Structures are given as structure tokens and as C-alpha cells.
Structure 1
Amino acid sequence: MKKILLTLIFALLPFTILAAPFGLKMGMSLDEISAQCEEEPSFMKDDVYLVKPKKSHPMFSYYAVYVNEKVGLYQIRAISDSVTCNKYGTEIQNAFNSVKDRIAKTYGKPKIIDKVDPNIHSFLQKAEHWFQNLKDGSCQLSAIWGENTQLADDLETVALDCVADNSVFHFEDAHLVLYYYFSNAKAVEDEQDDVF
């Protein structure tokens, strides 16, 4: 009986490891993350490493993991390629809705933040200025999971954001940024706040 149970546990273990976002789980060390990636993690700064997970999504091209020496992996960010937009921001809004609906299959219905700053001139609040408002920071389109529900995979929060590219050469481009905050992220914040 023990032998059957052990065989079943080891047979299911790979599926539980890959169930987390991009095959990455809370608390993983750099070596464990490296085993789930096509290349070695590339150090950027502080706790941030660029990675190329074996389990990736075609919408996202860039992945950053946040790994603390004490608590391991505590945050993942995935960034899409540039999406060229018209003045209404139709293309990035469509991409946002598509990805949001796919994530909702895993984590349920999100809280949507879709707003334009009411303090800007009413003329600028029109739909034809949506993309410019996104670039100026007067507009926000986000989805947030985990505010009033408990998420799987030891996640505290999942968020999807539309972000405009303010580069002179990419003035019509935007990106989707997908954030995964694990429940151990609070421990990292507390450690950093100890200096105050």
C-alpha cells in the first residue's frame, strides 16, 4: 500500500510544481527557478532577475522574478511586447480584455479599475483621447484578483495593467504588465521597513 501511495505522490509531483504561474512557486530559490527556465536567470538589480520560463504565454515576452535571500521567490512580473495603438487605445484594451478573461478562468472574476481622472478638462475625457490620457497618467485600466478572495498557488494578489510607452520612438505603443505577488512578499517589505 505504501509503495502505491509513494508512486502516486511522485507521479503527481511534476503537475503540482507546474501548476503555479509560469511553473514558478512561492519561495523557490534561484537554482529551483533556473531548473524551470530555458536559460540561467540574469541579475538586474537588488532582488530582480530576468528569466525565460519554459512555461510561458505567447502574449508575454519579458519575465522578471523577485527573489529574496531569506524567503526566495516573492514576486513575478510578465511584460508583453509593444502593442501599437490608435488614439482610442483599442488595441491595448482588446489585448487587456483577452488576457483578463483568460486569467479569470484560473483566479475568478477580478475587480476592474477603468477610470479617467475627473479633474482633467471634459474635452480630454472623451474616448478619442484615451490613449493620450494613459500616457499622461490621467487614465487607468487594471484588473486585480485577490482583494476579497483567497487565491491558489500561495498568491496574495494578481494584477494586470495597461502601461503606455513614453519613449519618443514608440509614442503609440503600450504594454500589458502582469504582476503576481506571493504571500511571502509581506515578509520582504517588513524586512526592508526595519530600517525606518
Structure 2
Amino acid sequence: MKKTLLIALLMMVSAILFAGPFGMEFGWSLEELEASGVYTWEPTRQGSVTSYWASPTKPHSQLSLYIIFIDDEYGLFDIRSVADASYSESQIRTLYNTLKSQLSSVYGDPEEYDEIDWLSGLTGSGNFIRSLFHGDRILNSTWYLDSTEYDDA
């Protein structure tokens, strides 16, 4: 029986991200996102930032869920995607590397972060998916955009 896993993948992007690949642009307000056809639900507010589950206008075929973060002053600044799948470890790694390569070809090299809790017992071969699922591993690539490109906006 296939077990469906929610795995946080790539797109854990933060700070100043240009998010064009999913039909969303850096700095857009919720109203602009919705006007472009992005559907959002379940808002959660923390300080000046509201996060939403979102359905983008240009989703990636292997990513099923998106979480977007919108700052009151700066607009959209963070997109996180989730794959709802029962992929093998090699398929997950391939998907991650493919997405990273696609984004890198547009936005340059990312800042990489791959951290695992060595005390979790999930550090061995074959535990890549399990360690992500249980939160014992954080794997993320972040692309930053030069904010001076938006100084006149």
C-alpha cells in the first residue's frame, strides 16, 4: 500500500525572492495575487506577515501545495511548496535537484541549507524522506534578489 507523504521541498525561500515561475511576483499584495488568479485560503497572521495556503496560476506539475507569505509593507516575499507524493528517495532527490536547477538558471546560485538532527537516528541511507517528513532534516535553497532593482517601484 502506498503511503502518501507530505514533504517540504525546495521553495523554502525567504527574504527578497522573485517568484515569477509560479505566476506570482515579488512584492504583490494579496489583492494583486487574487486579481492574477491565485486562490488563497486559511490565512494565519503573525506580526506584519500573513501566510496563506495558495493555488498559483502556474503550479509545478509535481508540487501540490503552496504556502505564501505576504508582508503588510513589502507584499509577497516567501513561497514554500509541498509535494504530496509517495516518491522514492531517489525520485525526491531528483525532483529537488531539478527544481533547484530550473530556478538557478533564472535567478543564479542559491544559498543552500541542509541540516539534519544527528541525534534523530534518521541519518543513514534510505532515511532522507523520513527525516524530512519527521522534521529531523531541513533542506532548503534560497534565492535572493538585489533589492535595488525595486528602489524606484
Which runs of 5 or more residues in structure 2 are unaligned?
1-18, 149-153
User: Distance between the aligned counterparts of 2:127 and 2:61, measured in 1?
Assistant: 29
User: Distance between the aligned counterparts of 2:120 and 2:31, measured in 1?
Assistant: 49
Higher helix content, 1 or 2: 1
Question: Post-superposition shift, 1:81?
Answer: 3.1
Q: Deviations over 1:41-65 (max 9, x none)?
A: 3352222233333233223332333
Match of 1:133 among 128, 131, 134: 131
Which runs of 5 or more residues in structure 1 are unaligned?
1-18, 156-196
2:41 corresponds to which residue?
Answer: 42
Determine which structure has greater relative contact order: mean sequence separation of CA pairs < 8 Å that are 6+ residues apart, divided by chain length: 2
1:168 corresponds to which residue?
Answer: none
**Equivalent residues of 1:112, 1:144 under 8 A apart:** yes
Q: Secondary structure at the match of 2:70?
A: strand
1:23 corresponds to which residue?
Answer: 23
CA 120–82 in structure 1, closer or farther in 2 if over 3 Å, else same: closer
1:75 corresponds to which residue?
Answer: 77
Over the aligned positions, Cα root-mean-square deviation in angstroms equals 3.2
User: Distance between the aligned counterparts of 2:113 and 2:69, measured in 1?
Assistant: 25
1:66 corresponds to which residue?
Answer: 69
1:113 corresponds to which residue?
Answer: 113
Q: Secondary structure at the match of 1:128?
A: coil
**Equivalent residues of 1:111, 1:144 under 8 A apart:** yes
User: Distance between the aligned counterparts of 1:66 and 1:116, measured in 2?
Assistant: 25
Question: Post-superposition shift, 1:72?
Answer: 4.9
Name the count of aligned residue pairs.
126
Amino acid across the alignment from 2:107 = Y
Question: Post-superposition shift, 1:113?
Answer: 3.4
1:191 corresponds to which residue?
Answer: none
Q: Secondary structure at the match of 2:34?
A: helix
- TM-score, normalised to structure 1, is 0.49
User: Distance between the aligned counterparts of 1:120 and 1:134, measured in 2?
Assistant: 11
Amino acid across the alignment from 1:143 = S
**Equivalent residues of 1:60, 1:78 under 8 A apart:** no
Amino acid across the alignment from 2:125 = A
2:90 corresponds to which residue?
Answer: 90
User: Distance between the aligned counterparts of 2:79 and 2:98, measured in 1?
Assistant: 18
